Structure 1
Amino acid sequence: MTAPLQHPKSARGHDERWWHRATGYQVYPRSFSDSDGDGMGDIPGIISKLGHLSDLGVGFIWLSPVYASPMVDNGYDISDYRDIAPEFGTLDDMDRLIAEARKRDIAIVMDLVVNHSSSLHPWFKAAAATRDCPEHAYYIWRDPAPDGGPPDDAQAAFGGSAWSFVPEVGQYYFHFFSGAQPDLNWQNPALRAEIYDMMRWWLDRGVGGFRMDVISLIGKDVDTRIYEEGPYLHGFLQEMHREVLAGRDLVTIGESWSVSTETGLRYCGRDREELDMVFEFSHIREGWHPELGKFAPKPFDLVAFKRALFAWQELTRDDGWHALFLSNHDLPRQVSFYADDGAHRRPAAKTLATVLHMLRGTPFVYQGEEIGMTNARFDRIDQYRDLETLNHFNAQIAEGVEPSEFLAGANRNSRDNARTPMQWSAAPNGGFTTGTPWIETNPNYPDINVEQDLPDPDSIFAHYKRLIALRRDRDVIAFGQTEPLWEDDPDILAFERRLGAERLLVVANFTNRDQTRALPSHLANRAAKGLAWSHAPRDDIPDRLELQPFESLVWIFDAEPGQ
């Protein structure tokens, strides 16, 4: 397969890969576009919207799971890795999506979910019927405790015990998530060989790489309760690279909720031969209560947010690569969480995009982000569909939490905020479906939709389009080093990018108030080469900046001699 956006050498002096200048776009299939009116998005619907993504300028689509699945966790519980869920389409539809995207220089990156399978996968069905079959060893089993209960008191991420009993085999199996998602036993070489063969099968069909779901869990040691970044993780990833990835022109992105600046380069260091980049969540966790978690979010703290962002910019200054994101299918809508989704929604959405896309790394756009979609703000728990939200609601209500208190946290941080249907137009249900959507459409769709945004040259969509094009065209944006400014400022996020003699300056107001700042002497009164967009365009860099609420400014200029 020929990947898009290839360049022979990068400005950093090493081999350049096509994804260094590309922007990824995540499609959550069930909420993107419904072609047949059944209320659920599908692959033909995605194909029908490829023109939108091509116009935006993205280089690849990260496609959330479309595999066969009972959909207990919306497709992250896979019952057949080599087939497509009927509600999404067929393998022929998938092949057509790969081919049609390729015509537009867009690669399809599959979501690889191999920490666990569905409990309805044929492997698990065989494993749960008898110990006397090879598949039994594909999963993690332990004998009951002396009292007949679970082997230990480990709790699942979605609530309840991490162990479920199967009478037919007289053992408990481990599941880090729900009981419908039994963890695969990566210490079994036969299981790993099955997974690698499946990955090669998809690559041979033409996919451009993999986003690897919770990949940091595959090296776990359940007996010592080391789950995240366990002792076997990097050996498995290096084996995967040797067996499947080496020599192929593709992109791999790992997901890890535990990776830190101390461990990040173990995944994506230049000489590690594991992954190309990793999704890390330090900037996300800064918004969570340290003990109560995501459903008790803290007020946004810009200083802590900057500290997390810039730590990873420093880590990948000379080695590795970073995956840049604020939104995905597991997170709230970024303009609602980090900024203002009310009176200042448009400038706030643009400022968040500017900050992210001007950093070093590969940016990811989550569907609807490019038009400034907002959180849903459901009033009742029965409006939610997310397994995690529903399980935590039941657990917290049992502990005495008031429903209204839980809903306030869910309205800010539930995964369903990102899963409401894509808002294409002011037609019923935002033009997502002619039927009844699987989850309610955000009621603001008549005012926030693609059809309304596109004709406006100053729209959020137009801003994203400019940012994505700049990364392709400007070496300083793609490869320049990042130098933070005003790191302790609670209201302003600012940084420089530096590459050779070229400089980029980004200044963003993260408040709903006017802000004034004096620039350092090495930046003030410089002759700019362009890119200054704002409410009132400014050609050169003044010595004192006056920023309106949620305004962001960007300049490119040349360094002074000797700098």
Structure 2
Amino acid sequence: MLKKIWWKEAVVYQIYPISFQDSDGDGKGDLQGIQSRLDYLCELGIDVIWICPVYKSPNHDNGYDISDYYAIMDEFGTMDDFDELLHKAHERGIKIMMDLVLNHTSDEHPWFTESRSSKDNPKRDYYIWRTGKNGGYPNNWESYFSGSVWKYDKLTDEYYMHLYSEHQPDLNWENEEMVGELYRMVEWWLKKGIDGFRFDAIAHIVKAEGLPDADNPDKRTWVRAYQLFSNLEQVHDLLRMLNEKVLMRYPLMTVGETSGLGPEQALDYVGDQRHELNMVFQFEHMFVDAEGQGTEKWKFKPWTLVELKQIMSRWQTVLHLEGWNANYLNNHDQPRALSRFGNDGQYRVESAKMLATFTHMLEGTPYIYQGEEIGMTNIAYPSIDDYRDVETLNYYEQQRKIGEPEEEIMAAIWRKSRDNARTPMQWNDGYAAGFTDGDPWMKMNDNYTYINAETERRNPDSIFHYYRKLIALRKQHEVIVYGEYKLLLPLDTELYVFTRMLGQEHLLVILNFFDRDPVFHWPEEDGYAAAKVEMLLSNYEPAQGENLRELKLRPYEARVYKLILK
């Protein structure tokens, strides 16, 4: 049954605060900076801002290591600044979704300071502690940031678990007192009036009973044991309890970061009758150009459009009427989609518009990552010294230790580093792209002189204004939000074509994913051959005298047609 609700109809804009806008000249973005750009976001037309963590943090992983859930990081401002941002956003009809980490804290959080102080401290079991086995580590699990998930703590002669950095100890969700503390914290933020949460690493809050070793057929030192710490059944029990105790009392938008699952498993999180989350971020399409997940992500393999269509179509069809999709190609943890799936050179504008058409015409809530709407691209710093991301730096050190050539390591980093998405926002062609009056916390991309928001806003045919058109179309045509998706030409290696259908409303979306000139033959089925055709959107001007029945597409061309069936 079709259920209409505000977060299905919304368009979300993700902000990575340290790189968005600096207001005080320290070279780092902040809350006052975000507030100063609210009118820009209003002009774009978005409905929700997802703000990456701004809580107090020592910043070993750019805010995802929280040391105080009830305070704002000094670099970002104060709680008064946050309250003012929330108020000003709401005045403009923009909602705020907070990024919240419930899987782990910082090792500087007071809970962990107490936990590590002695084995009999009341907060000892707030975290996951174990003794070593046979003079070694408690098990052979590998951290997301390479190496063991265990860190030895000399004071109590035990190890604590960290699925991510050693500065991010995992919380123990089997401790009811700790869980109660999290409930109270979540409610505290909701009473402030925020409109939702993106739950970071939420799939990992439960670990396999007994923390057994992972199978190790390749005799590796450390094994990425996804099946032992991802999407375990008890996660759903804990999320339903969180919903029952806190979330369901508020008209929220909730989205979970849940790697390692397909759409059938995603329904366990987002199914209408599950009462857990509104939607989840899936990662299958983020690994079409990699040998695998984890450290394997650095090993590039050519992606194919057929594989991408298969993945996206499964998510579209399985979740239809049963759950809801979160559609994205960019975020703070991924390289820029324009450089990855498009063409950031000759066809930068055309391919950026094509990729935007793709994500916004799928069924689900579209997410825009800062800079995506102006066509920002990957960065290729010549030296590892210019990189800031802990995952990237760990990968570099690990590969150097095993003797990988410098040029091969840097090529992988240029392609896949998370810092590709984290370069400062490019606002104008002035000093530091208008991001700061000081020294930027990381080097700007040199192309800011011609890729920037000011230039985009002045050009009516820009990527920015194309995004505005896409967002406006979504508000005008219910079929874009709620229509059923159907894939056409599943084996075509160049064209991604699908329809959206809601009652008598039909849309035909034609996307050329490459720089070649394929011919699209108008479909004969479903009465489309005799349909009256209206073009809603295109990233090119229609060619004179073109034949719609055998349509020759230009590089990275995108077209959206409204079909009126006879």
- The equivalent residue for 2:255 is 253
Contact 2:535 2:559 survives alignment (8 Å): no
Provide the rounded CA distance (Å) in 1 between the counterparts of 2:250 and 2:380: 44
One-letter amino acid matched to 2:260: S
Correspondence 1:199-214 to 2 at 5 A: 199-214=186-201
SS at match of 1:254: strand
- Counterpart of 1:346 (choices 345, 349, 352) is 349
Correspondence 1:88-487 to 2 at 5 A: 88-147=76-135, 149-221=136-208, 223-224=211-212, 226-290=228-292, 293-487=296-490
- The equivalent residue for 1:9 is none
One-letter amino acid matched to 2:282: E
Provide the rounded CA distance (Å) in 2 between the counterparts of 1:121 and 1:165: 18
Contact 1:527 1:541 survives alignment (8 Å): no
Correspondence 1:57-76 to 2 at 5 A: 57-76=45-64
SS at match of 2:172: coil
Correspondence 1:541-556 to 2 at 5 A: 542-556=548-562
SS at match of 1:232: helix
Provide the rounded CA distance (Å) in 2 between the counterparts of 1:282 and 1:392: 22
SS at match of 1:531: strand
Deviations 1:212-258 (A, max 9, x none): 00100012226136101123210001011001111311100000111
Contact 2:423 2:445 survives alignment (8 Å): yes
SS at match of 1:30: helix
Contact 1:220 1:229 survives alignment (8 Å): no
Question: Residues 395 and 544 (structure 1 numbering): CA distance in 2 closer, same or farther, change over 3 Å?
Answer: same
- The equivalent residue for 1:25 is 13
Contact 2:532 2:565 survives alignment (8 Å): no
Residue 506 of structure 1 pairs with residue 509 of structure 2: yes
Q: CA deviation at 1:460?
A: 0.4
The normalised TM-score by structure 2 is: 0.94
Contact 2:350 2:539 survives alignment (8 Å): no
One-letter amino acid matched to 2:23: S
Say which is worse superposed, 387-396 or 288-297, in terms of deviation.
Answer: 288-297
Q: CA deviation at 1:18?
A: 0.9
Deviations 1:173-199 (A, max 9, x none): 110011100000011111111111100
Provide the rounded CA distance (Å) in 2 between the counterparts of 1:363 and 1:434: 33
Identity %: 44
Question: Residues 445 and 173 (structure 1 numbering): CA distance in 2 closer, same or farther, change over 3 Å?
Answer: same
- The equivalent residue for 1:45 is 33
- The equivalent residue for 1:557 is 563
Say which is worse superposed, 63-72 or 228-237, in terms of deviation.
Answer: 228-237
SS at match of 2:83: helix
Contact 1:476 1:498 survives alignment (8 Å): yes
Contact 2:27 2:441 survives alignment (8 Å): yes
SS at match of 2:197: strand
| Structure ranking higher in helix proportion | 2
Q: CA deviation at 1:527?
A: 1.7
The normalised TM-score by structure 1 is: 0.95
Contact 1:513 1:549 survives alignment (8 Å): yes
One-letter amino acid matched to 1:83: A
Q: CA deviation at 1:334?
A: 0.7
Contact 1:29 1:66 survives alignment (8 Å): yes
Contact 1:524 1:542 survives alignment (8 Å): no
Contact 1:70 1:77 survives alignment (8 Å): yes
- The equivalent residue for 1:36 is 24
Provide the rounded CA distance (Å) in 2 between the counterparts of 1:488 and 1:333: 26
Provide the rounded CA distance (Å) in 1 between the counterparts of 2:8 and 2:104: 30
One-letter amino acid matched to 1:153: N
Provide the rounded CA distance (Å) in 2 between the counterparts of 1:244 and 1:469: 34
One-letter amino acid matched to 1:556: K
Contact 2:531 2:565 survives alignment (8 Å): no
Deviations 1:495-523 (A, max 9, x none): 00011011000001111122212122133
